Amino acid sequence: MEHALDELARILKAPQTGLRDRYGAIVLRPAENLATGLAIGVGFAIVHLVAG
């Protein structure tokens, strides 16, 4: 029982993660996908210009 209370106290003392930390990855993933898509599109456009 004492171990469980010590563990609970440790959890409660831990710093809380903010909304920015929690949801930052959710926002960052689509931004990464958009940047990757734009880079691929620009690459295809350059190849199309050089080949044509």
Q: Which residue has the tokens 């958009």?
A: 34
In 1-52, which residue ranges form alpha helices assigned H by DSSP? 2-13, 19-51
User: Residue 4: is its pLDDT beyond 90?
Assistant: no
Query: How many CA atoms, within 13 angstroms, populate the side-chain half-sphere of residue 49?
Result: 6
Looking at residue 43, its pLDDT comes to: 96
41 vs 36: CA distance, rounded Å: 9
What is the pLDDT confidence band of residue 36, given thresholds at 50, 70 and 90? very high
Using a cut of 0.85, tell me whether the model's pTM lies above it.
Answer: no
Q: What is the pLDDT of residues 14-34, one digit of tens each?
A: 777 666 666 777 888 899 999
Residues across the chain = 52
Looking at residue 19, its pLDDT comes to: 64
